[in-house]
Structure 1
Amino acid sequence: MDSWQDKDYKGYICGIVGQLKDHFPDASYLAFNFREGETQSQIADVLSEYDMTIMEYPRHYEGCPLLTMEVVHHFLRSGESWLSLGQQNLLLMHCERGGWPILAFMLAALLIYRKQYSGEQKTLDMIYRQAPRELLQFLCPLNPIPSQLRYLQYVSRRNVATEWPPLDRALNLDCVIMRFIPNFDREGGCRPVFRIYGQDPFLASDRTPKFLYSTPKKNNTFRAYKQVKLFSSRYCCESH
């Protein structure tokens, strides 16, 4: 999570690459990097000096540590294809600042996709235990695990599904359960406004995210909620 000066960062990565080459002198490497922004990352510049191939993916989609199924599918196919070429092919995974949640999810997806592990919850928990649990809470104000588990189910059930990757579908969100409600009104509650962004399910040719829904702000509907209350609202939104 700490910022690195360019010189210090390059020296750190070069040290890791040197150790890898000492331990695996005959290996070929493919690196996946989950980056912030669209410009070429620091690690891509460093690894290119070692003739390593690097593929870069975003570290979130609209602020959530998940990617579209098309991108997840591309990642899984690329990783599987590279590793299946031979025992000397090694796969490196790296994330930039704040990218740990998406790296953990994508690694779990790859392990399940290659049938090296089974069980979505068990696999994801095993990977998250490699870092302090507080790190996930620090990086994600919302708990990403339920959504990540749902996407891992798509991966584990791909052989029984009629289509893979699954097509985008509209879904009905019946309710939102908030287990920890911020105390904004000094009475143990708040007046939440939910906004939903996603792809318009009725415009298949347009893939850009759009504002799909917001809870009304009128005084007679803008209710105050406290702990253990259930928020219910029904609307249509894009599932992927």
Structure 2
Amino acid sequence: MSLFREYFYRKAPDRLVEISERVYAFDCCFSNDVMGDDEYKQYLDGIVAQLHYLYPDTSFKVCNFRAEDQQSQISTLLSQYGTSVMDYPNQHESVPLLPLQVISQFLISSESWLGQQNVLLMHCERGCLPLLDFMLSALLLYYKRYHGDQKTLELAYNQAPKELLYLSSALNPQPSQLRYLGYISTRDLGSDWPPPEAPLVLDCLILRGLPHFEGVKDWRPSLRVLGQDHKAPANRSSILLFSTPKTNTIYQQVLS
């Protein structure tokens, strides 16, 4: 089936979702069904057979989004067909995103790969669907196959049951994802791509809809901000930049 029917009317190979020309996503990523090992192998075997029939002289590459502590089952199964699988971590700074530099490299390498008339396949492990949806949206905006950051992201999110999206995080990742999609959709308006890193100033944080606990006094939320250490730019790991004090204080914190 096709993900965006306004543009694509061709029938995609069985068990694949057509994203764009020669770009497909595995339909198991958008389903609540859980396959056993043998069923999953048969599933992949059937897809590979179809693709080799439809694209006999074409190379295939799979981009797989998974948790860092998981083994990549699809890499093992597809290695027998000589299909390369690129694994990407599911989260960056606890959000279903990738660093902007990695996103840029993914988009540029995908453009080169597809420019050689190859096929790109997108896959995610259980619980990694929000990142897959984001990367599909990023690819479509980068190629200008679709317009509107929020509309493109919502179309991708609507392909799967909502409860499947909640498996990865109880937090809503879309605000952060939309901010990154904005960098991609407006990349032609400036000379810098990806945009350089810049300090972030947190002036005010407004929390709404906080729970009320009967009989509990002096209850207040605790805020922790994680990010990179500006004093050690070569170190890309996160550190604790700020934590709310235990007293009622109005503050302004500058983050680098």
Shorter-chain TM-score above 0.5: yes
Compute the displacement of 1:137 (Å). Answer: 3.6
Moved segments of 4+, more than 6 Å: none
Give, as a single letter, the amino acid of the residue that structure 2 aligns with 1:33. N
Report what 2:143 is aligned to: 114
Q: Give the aligned partner of residue 191 of structure 2.
A: 162
1: CA distance, partners of 2:153 / 2:238:
28
- Paired position in structure 1 for 2:255: 237
Which residue of the other structure, out of 224, 240, 246, is the alignment partner of 1:211? 240
- Per-residue deviation, 1:236: 2.6
CA RMSD across the alignment: 2.5
Partner of 1:53: 84
- 2:96 corresponds to which residue? 65
Shift of 1:140: 2.4
1:28 alignment counterpart: 59
Superposed displacement of residue 94, structure 1: 0.3
Give, in angstroms, the shift of residue 133 of structure 1: 2.9
CA distance in structure 2 between the aligned counterparts of 1:4 and 1:92, rounded to whole angstroms: 19
Query: Could you state the TM-score of these two structures normalised by the residue count of structure 2?
Result: 0.78
Conserved? CA contact 1:64–1:144, under 8 Å? yes
Question: Take 1:233 and 1:76, find their aligned partners in 2: how far apart are those partners?
Answer: 39
Could you tell me which residue of structure 2 aligns to residue 76 of structure 1?
Answer: 107
Candidates 64, 74, 93, aligned match of 2:122: 93
Question: What is aligned with 1:221?
Answer: 248
Structure 2 portions without partners, runs of 5+: 1-31
Flag the 1:141–1:234 CA change in 2: closer, same or farther, 3 A: farther
1:215 CA displacement:
0.6
Q: Deviations over 1:86-129 (max 9, x none)?
A: 2xx21100001111000111111111111111111111111111
Tell me the alpha carbon deviations over residues 155-205 of structure 1, each in whole angstroms, 9 at most, x when there is no partner.
11111223111122110122333344244x247996211111111233322
Answer whether contact 1:182 1:188 (CA < 8 A) is retained. Answer: no
Structure 1 contact 168–201 (Cα < 8 Å) conserved:
no
Distance (Å, rounded) in 2 between the aligned partners of 1:112 and 1:203: 33
**Cα distance in 2 between the residues matched to 1:221 and 1:125:** 39
Deviation string, structure 1 residues 1-21 (Cα, Å, up to 9, x no partner): 666543343233223323333
CA contact (8 A) 2:227 2:241 kept: yes
> Could you tell me how far apart the structure 1 residues matched to 2:239 and 2:184 are?
26
Where 1:205 maps in the other structure, the secondary structure is coil
Question: How far apart in 1 are the matches of 2:111 and 2:238?
Answer: 29
SS at match of 1:124: helix
Paired residue for 2:210?
181
Distance in structure 1 (CA, Å) of the matches to 2:108 and 2:147: 18
State how far apart, in whole Å, the 2-side matches of 1:19 and 1:40 are.
Answer: 26
Alignment-mate amino acid for residue 192 of structure 1: P
Aligned to 1:196: 225
* Separation of aligned partners in 1, 2:215 and 2:164: 30
Q: Deviations over 1:193-233 (max 9, x none)?
A: 1111111233322222111110112xx429xxxxxxxxx85
Which ranges in structure 1 are unaligned for 5 or more consecutive residues?
Answer: 223-231
Distance 1:233 1:93, change over 3 A: farther
1:169, 1:201 within 8 Å by CA — same for their partners in 2?
A: no
